[in-house]
Amino acid sequence: MSNGKEKYSQQLEEKTEIRTEKPSYYNVFLLNDDYTTMEFVVDILKNTFHKNLTEATQIMLHVHKQGIGLAGVYPREIAETKVESVHRIARENGFPLKCIMEKKND
């Protein structure tokens, strides 16, 4: 008769596999309007989206000519924060500048 110790002497190894999904990324766009100055849009791009003057000017001109321009691509939480920041700063400065985010197609 085998004793109970034999039964428990074999060690069972438990493997846990942790799967992390890549976060979804979102495009953050600025929308053109007839009241927000070009200089203010450049300032937003430099200070909120950390663009240099050349990049900020190129994006601002794209917004001005095409009606919309890509300011950056971020994980959801950061994109939400960028959109909220743009709206808050624009309101504080008396501008109706709008910013939106759309899920990026992978």
Domain boundaries, the chain: 33-106
Q: For the chain, give the secondary structure using H, E and C.
A: CCCHHHHHHCCCCCCCCCCCCCCCEEEEEEECCCCCCHHHHHHHHHHCCCCCHHHHHHHHHHHHHHCEEEEEEEEHHHHHHHHHHHHHHHHHCCCCCEEEEEECCC
Domain 33-106 part of CATH 1.20.140.10:
no
Summarised one tens digit per residue, pLDDT across range 65-100 is 999 999 999 999 999 999 999 999 999 999 999 999
Summarised one tens digit per residue, pLDDT across range 15-53 is 677 778 888 999 999 999 999 999 999 999 999 999 999
